[in-house]
Amino acid sequence: MSQNITRGINQMLDEANKEIRTLTINEALALLDAEDHVFVDIRDVREIKREGKIPGSYSCPRGMLEFWIDPESPYHKDIFNQDKSYIFYCAGGLRSALATQTAQSMGLKPVCHVEGGFAAWKAANAPIETDQ
């Protein structure tokens, strides 16, 4: 018997996008060196190794986000306990929309995400940090 999915990804993204703030690439670029903002890359480490990342961004795999945000979690990361704004991004802006909604619902604020994700960042010829 097949599953009957009653709330698909498109509905989830529509709901998230109604609740969260989305930055254009130009808005995100303007905040790149702002000390009161943290760019959070939620892509898998293999994606980051393969393509690079936004300079100075903090890597937090999407699967660990809730655990790293929650100060009561044994996996909590202090980066999420600062008086800063958090800008999430992924490869194309889908995972980061859901991550932003989740972080916001947990009480992390202010939060937003980058429209089009890292693909849009690269297409804009914005700076990229690599391991090399």
pTM for the predicted model, two decimal places? 0.95
The count of structural domains within the chain is 1
- The verdict on residue 4 lying in a domain is no
Half-sphere exposure of 13 (CA within 13 A, CB side): 10
- The verdict on residue 5 lying in a domain is no
Q: Residues 44-53: pLDDT tens digits?
A: 999 999 999 9
Nearest one of 85, 71, 97 to 39, comparing CA atoms: 85
- The verdict on residue 92 lying in a domain is yes
- The verdict on residue 2 lying in a domain is no
Q: Are strands 58-59 and 37-41 parallel, antiparallel or unpaired?
A: parallel
Q: Residues 66-109: pLDDT tens digits?
A: 999 999 999 999 999 999 999 999 999 999 999 999 999 999 99
- The verdict on residue 128 lying in a domain is no
Could you tell me where the DSSP H helices lie in the chain? 9-19, 25-30, 45-51, 65-69, 94-106, 117-123
- The verdict on residue 131 lying in a domain is no
- The verdict on residue 39 lying in a domain is yes
- The verdict on residue 3 lying in a domain is no
* Residue 117's CATH number: 3.40.250.10
Q: Residues 18-28: pLDDT tens digits?
A: 999 999 999 99
Q: Residue 52: give the domain boundaries.
A: 10-123
